Amino acid sequence: MPIQILPAILANQIAAGEVVERPASVVKELVENSLDSGASLIEIEIEKGGHKQILVRDNGNGIPQQELALALSRHATSKISSLDDLEHIVSLGFRGEALASISSVSRLSLSSKPAEQNEAWQAHSEGRDMQVQLTPIAHPKGTSVDVTDLFFNTPARRKFLKAEKTEFSHIDEIIRRIALSRFDVAFSLKHNGKLLRKYPAADNSVSKHKRLISICGKEFGEQAIELNSQYQDFSLQGWLAPPNTAKPQVDCQYFYVNGRMMRDKLLNHAVRQALEGVIAPEHQLAYVLYFSLDTAQVDVNVHPAKHEVRFHQSRLVHDFVYRALSDAINQYFSASPQAGNE
């Protein structure tokens, strides 16, 4: 076969393989877009575990009519415009890929109304094999993205979708993680018409604590050691289950870097190392940690789904996190000496 440039739809579907693994990854991308748009309220509605429908509605800044079709194109973003911007990313998105990818493997409607526009408009696409159609629609300020029939045109991918319940539990988990990253934003999650989660906006320590408890459990919320460490431009805040909790919350292991949720080997290693020796082998780690540093010190453009980052001074980061946790644990033991003799 001679070398040829792939048609746009196929290129987008290939990219979708990296970004859109399952319904929960669609939810993640859409909710991150809502957060980037400055929304204070984000409503998520799911039908049949996302097999049938994923709807994300926000009250953010919206997309002007003349940019709606562009928003669905690959490499189209309002978040960066230069290499310099790439080194100082403050938004969750920047690759301009999510909507293009999702719309290439689903039927997608994007409806929006910016505050300064009188009417709302909707762009509709089906697998992106035709021109995007724009129609006027009723919609309050903000944006809704309605994704139906995920993978309808990629049967091989559709086959890999798990049972409704499993896919929904992945979505639920994504919303928990995101809700822990933005206490100031209200989230709600419906499944098959039923309201299952409601996280009201939390602006003081009492309401923040309430959200922490509703996500990580009462025990964790009440017993967790609170962290607050600074070193130069590094800071580590959050909560850590005391090493001797009898019934540790196994499913709360969240690490955020500059507000972005991460699965990072280096950071996980620092956490494990700090707890080694003080935590009984049968006890699972539980933590919700927020690490922040200068955006120029970290490269977020490592993985399409942005689960990983690269630190310019990785040794320093590792040692800071390790030290901050070790200090907090030592302090905890010295404040309650009997805690260690369980």
Using CB under 6 A, which of 11, 21, 64, 78 touches ligand ADP? 78
Residue nearest to ligand ADP (CB): 93
Using CB under 6 A, which of 43, 58, 146, 164 touches ligand ADP? 58
In this structure, are residues 123 and 132 in contact, taking their beta carbons and an 8 Å threshold?
yes
The contact mask relative to ligand ADP for 143-172 (x = CB under 6 A, - = no) is: x-----------------------------
Residue nearest to Mg ion (CB): 93
CA-CA distance, 283 to 74, in Å (whole number)? 45
> What are the counts of helices (DSSP H) followed by strands (DSSP E) for the chain?
11, 15
Site for Mg ion contains 112 (CB under 5 A):
no
93 or 221: CB nearest Mg ion: 93
In this structure, are residues 185 and 40 in contact, taking their beta carbons and an 8 Å threshold?
yes
Site for ligand ADP contains 89 (CB under 6 A):
no
CA dist 53 → 18, 27, 30, 32, 45 (Å): 21, 11, 13, 18, 8
CA-CA distance, 2 to 337, in Å (whole number)? 73
Site for ligand ADP contains 64 (CB under 6 A):
no
From 32-40, 168-176, 212-220, 263-271, give the range in contact with Mg ion by CB under 5 A: 32-40
Site for ligand ADP contains 63 (CB under 6 A):
yes
Other C-beta atoms closer than 10 Å to the C-beta of 206 total 8
From 58-66, 93-101, 255-263, 328-336, give the range in contact with Mg ion by CB under 5 A: 93-101
In this structure, are residues 33 and 98 in contact, taking their beta carbons and an 8 Å threshold?
yes
DSSP secondary structure code for residue 105 in this structure: T
Cα distance between the two ends of the chain? 69
Sites of contact with ligand ADP (CB under 6 A): 29, 33-34, 37, 58, 60-63, 71, 76-79, 93-100, 143
